[in-house]
């Protein structure tokens, strides 16, 4: 029987995801999944997607579905695990849940964008909240999708963001070939006060219009 993500059916996985941590599904840590084995071959050139979701069952559904679409998929249950993953490799795309405990998706999106302008970011929100969508885009996300969603819509958005990320990567390589980029003064700090201020600005603008 197909599993569902808050009411939306996903096809059942054709393989089992091993628990290499010994502490339950993914064990609250980052897992690297290649061909459903949990082992990295070092020779895999498929687009690497990281799923950041604190709810283990939903995380598994997303990982299974994206792996079946021929992506290399890793998962993280929050900011700490995401940072550990990025120490090893910059992914092509991060599917980032907004409602994470501790550091929420807005803070992590800004951190990701500071880390690299070439990583694709799709924010996942549990409600069709316009404020969250706008703030997510302002913090550096490329796109958003609201739960519950159709798997085919998710796949279409993933492919679209990956195409844009590929263009950004080519532009970056071209810029490097023509000389070093200019140093940018200062560095934005990713914190909740910035997100709160962005929400207040958007609400004031909405009330005026």
Question: pLDDT per residue over 87-146, tens digit each?
Answer: 999 999 999 999 999 999 999 999 999 998 889 999 998 766 677 777 877 888 999 999
Residue 202 burial (C-beta neighbours within 10 Å; 0-12, 13-18, 19+) = middle
- According to the model, what pLDDT value does residue 26 have? 33
Indicate the CATH number for domain 4-208.
Answer: 3.40.50.2300
Mean pLDDT score, 76-88: 95
Q: Which residue has the higher pLDDT, 43 or 110?
A: 110
- Whether the ω angle into residue 148 lies within 30 degrees of 0, i.e. cis, is yes
Place of tokens 């709160």: 196
Cα 21 → chain centroid: 22
pLDDT of 24 above 90: no
Q: Where are the domains of the chain?
A: 4-208
Across 142-173, b (16+ Cβ under 10 Å) vs e yields: bbbbbbeeebeebeebbeebbeebeebeeeee
Residue 45 burial (C-beta neighbours within 10 Å; 0-12, 13-18, 19+) = exposed
- According to the model, what pLDDT value does residue 183 have? 55
Q: Which residue has the higher pLDDT, 187 or 50?
A: 50
pLDDT of 64 above 90: yes
* CA–CA gap between residue 72 and residue 74 (Å, rounded): 7
Phi first, then psi: what are they for 136, rounded to 5°? -60, -45
- Residue 14's pLDDT band, with cuts at 50, 70 and 90, is very low
Phi first, then psi: what are they for 48, rounded to 5°? -95, 120
Mean pLDDT score, 156-171: 83
Cα 44 → chain centroid: 20
């Amino acid at each position: 029987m197909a599993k569902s993500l808050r009411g939306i059916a996903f096809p059942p996985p054709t393989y089992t995801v091993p628990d290499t941590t010994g502490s339950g599904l993914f064990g609250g840590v980052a897992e690297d999944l290649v061909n459903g084995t949990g082992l990295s071959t070092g020779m895999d050139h498929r687009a690497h997607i990281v799923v950041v979701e604190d709810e283990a069952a939903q995380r598994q559904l997303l990982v299974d579905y994206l792996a079946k679409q021929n992506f290399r998929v890793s998962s993280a249950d929050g900011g700490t695990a995401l940072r550990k993953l990025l120490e090893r490799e910059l992914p092509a795309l991060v599917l980032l849940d907004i409602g994470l405990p501790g550091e929420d998706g807005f803070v992590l999106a800004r951190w990701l964008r500071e880390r690299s302008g070439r990583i694709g970011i799709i924010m996942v929100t549990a409600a069709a909240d316009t404020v969250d969508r706008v703030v997510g885009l302002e913090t550096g996300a490329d796109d958003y999708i609201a739960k519950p969603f159709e798997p085919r819509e998710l796949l279409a958005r993933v492919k679209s963001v990956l195409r844009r990320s590929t263009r950004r990567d080519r532009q970056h390589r071209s810029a490097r070939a023509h000389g070093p980029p200019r140093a940018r003064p200062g560095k934005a700090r990713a914190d909740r006060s910035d997100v709160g201020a962005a929400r207040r600005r958007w609400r004031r603008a909405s009330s005026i219009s």
